Structure 1
């Protein structure tokens, strides 16, 4: 069997994720592989907020082009970066077991959001995070923070920001602890709903690949179920990866619970709703919740949010 080629972005976190899949391919499936580093549009344009250069495929398009050209066999993505629509011929072979879904507050001087002084500078790449931060503390000065995890941590250390928000899964995977940043406080999903698929990895392949069925075996059933419900919800809203939508599906006592929030990036208007039901009704529940929120003006809010992003 020839050596497989894994496409990945070049950040330390992306390489950790790709190496993790490489190890699993060898240990669980007996498949050898190597990494191919590919720069995406999201990696090249670092001086502009994500929402302004957003749209579909910000962190995936170049990898997908390599898949379609058969220059790589699979692409490893952070699932939260994967659009809900795929180019013809491509799809997710699997969704891996989800890490911690939460966002996390980091600061060298302040213990939590409440402790921040009035007008404190908080760095984040995400309108979703900005929206939920502003709803808690309208006085905060939220600013765009681009670059890989190490770049963001260095800017925090250099006092460019009083605090930053990162995904807890990224901190766990890279072993970042209070030895490096004194105050690291995970934010419960009651405080801040994550992005769709946050904490999981998605492995994208050509649907006709002879290895597709084998790679499916790396997936995690419950993670795929919950992330799939979240993706169905976002798809029903015509939402993307760079819009202010927080959504989280989890399983409790053999039921699925889906919570969602949509609003404006300044936190001035937010729609929140939830639904629960049987596990095998997950997609139906996502569509019901999306329809309910659309009736309350969700699509108009998302359109307004995009306009606000371009005005900043």
Structure 2
């Protein structure tokens, strides 16, 4: 037992406790988790399948949509299978390296998704402000390069988080009151000085969100200026309709993330199970609704999805 009270070198394990205070309801909670996850996988894989099969959809806007679908699949898959193992079978153990790996991929995918939303805003800006040069400014190759830049940025920003945590000693009590290894939840398990790790995590979150929202805001500022110059009300409506899906996805992605992140760090008066449920809903609801929003709001995609759905 004395060896267990040392740092996390022996044995290197954490315990994910699920949703504290709602242990008796874990089986019931697993039902919406499972449904949301299955719908998310079906919707996002359908988007990937349809775009890969239809050459008419293989253009920048839909390439970005495929990138968004991949991040949605990755984000929910990082969390839901392990959460269901906790709810169904009580498999709560996770190695420290496994925990830090989950945290790295989850936060990297989230940062990557944010970069994709910025690129989508730029795509809509070019399409409305300079439609005649759209095909030359935004090619598939250029979109792929922008996606690669977003991935490199995400890895560069997130990688120090698990590396900083890996150097810290962890207390004998390694029970994480969460369904997955969220950064600040793991930081709270340490008995060492977590100032650097806490500060870095907060700064990177704020820098990423503020920078990306600023860039999206600039894109929509240019879009609004271009729309106001149009004389026809019908042209106004057509131009703004092309942005509706993107705006819905932005609100769906950033609003719960900001609320969950801020309450987890600063909302000490909020019950722990509310924190955990909010954090999980942020990873479940947007991936499920994003493909539905784009399928409904994008006529080309809607028609192609309908075609393949009718064949099944």
Higher relative contact order (CA 8 A, sep 6+): 2
Structure number with the higher strand fraction is 1
TM-score in terms of structure 2 length: 0.29
